[in-house]
Amino acid sequence: MKFTATQIAGILEGDIIGDPDIEVSKLSKIEEGTEGSLTFLANPKYKPYIYTTKASITIVNKDFESESDLDTTLILVEDAYKSFSTLLEYYNKVKLNKTGIEQPSFIADSVVLGENVYVGAFTYLGENVQIGKNVKIYPNVYIGDNAVIGDDAVIFAGAKIYSESIIGNYCVIHSGAIVGADGFGFAPDENGAFKKVPQTGNVILEDHVDIGAGTTIDRATLGSTIIRKGVKLDNQIQIAHNVEIGENTVIAAQTGIAGSTKIGKNCMIGGQVGIVGHITIGDGVRIQAQSGIGRNVKDLEVLQGSPALNYGDYNKSYVYFKNLPKLANKINKLDKILDNNEQ
C-alpha cells in the first residue's frame, strides 16, 4: 500500500512542507528511515536525526523549527505522537480489511453472520453462534456453541472462544488466547481424591476489551467471569473463574488472578503479579511488578513487594534491608564490646 503526503495530511488534518506528491509504503524509526518510509519526531532527544534521516515523510509538531536544510517532507500536526498512533490505527484497518468466507471452514447452519464479515480458513463456528458486522475472524479460530461476537471485533489466528461466551463490540483477541475454558474447580472427597466441580457459567467481555496472545480467561462456576469495558490485558495472563475486572484497568504480562476476586476500575497492575482469590481491590490501585496481593486493597493504594506493602513503606524498608550487612557488623562489634566490658 502506498500513501502520498497529501493523503496522510488529509487523514491527520496536518500541513505539508515539501513535496505533496511524495509516496511512502512503509513505516520506520526516524534514525532508521529509508527512502519510501514514513516516520515521526515527538521526543526532542531524537531531533538531530531529522537532519540525517532518509525517510521520505516525517510527522512533526507544528512548533517545530528547522535549524538547517531537510531532505524529508514534513507534515505539521498538533501532536506528532498521537497523530502517528492515529495513522498506525488507520494503517492496521486498511491492512486487516479482509472480507468473505475462506474454505475449508465449518459454519453451522444456525450461525448468524453480520455484514462485511471475514472468516479465515479452518475456522469452526458452532451452533447458534452470532457474529456481528465487520467482524474479522482469522484462520484456525474455534468459536463454540451459543457464543456471541459483537460488531467490529477482531479475533486473530488460533484463538479459542468456548461456548456461551459473550464478546462485546470492538474487542480484540490475539492468537492463542482462550476465553471460556473451565475454571480450576475441584473438591476433595472422603478419600482425599479431587472431584471436578462442573463449571456452568460463562465469560463476558464488554466493549473495547483487548486480550493479549496466550492469555486465558476461565468461565465462571456459576454466573459470569466479567471483563468490563476498556480493559487491556497483556500476553500470558491467567484470569480465574468468577473474577471481575473493572473498566479501563490494564494488566501486564504473566499476572495471575485467582477465583472470585474483584478488581476495580482504572487500576494498573504490573507484570508477574500474583493475586489471591476472594478479595476486593479498589479503584485506581497501582501494583508494582512481581508483587503478591493477599488482602483487600483500598482505592488508590500503591503497593509493592510480596506480601505487598504500601509503596512508600516498601521503599523505606528496603533501605534498611540493603543496609542489613552493615547493621549486622555494627551489632557484632557492640556484642564484642559488651562481652569485653562484662569480663
| Active site amino acids | 241
Q: What is the DSSP letter of 198?
A: P
Q: CB-based burial of residue 219 (10 Å sphere; 0-12 exposed, 13-18 middle, 19+ buried)?
A: buried
Amino acid letter, residue 162:
Y
CA angle 176, 179, 183 (to 5 degrees): 115
> Residue 320's Cα: distance from chain center in Å?
36
Q: Which residues contact 260 (CB under 8 A, 6 or more apart)?
A: 240, 241, 242, 243, 277, 278
* DSSP assigned state of 199: -
Residues in the chain: 343
Across-strand partners of 216?
Answer: 178, 238
Tell me if 186 sits within 8 A of 196, measured CB to CB: yes
> 3-state class of 20 per DSSP?
coil
Using CA atoms, how far apart are residues 164 and 177, in angstroms rounded to an integer? 16
**One-letter identity of residue 300:** L
Helices (H), the chain: 5-12, 80-95, 311-322, 324-342
d(CA 76, CA 221): 54
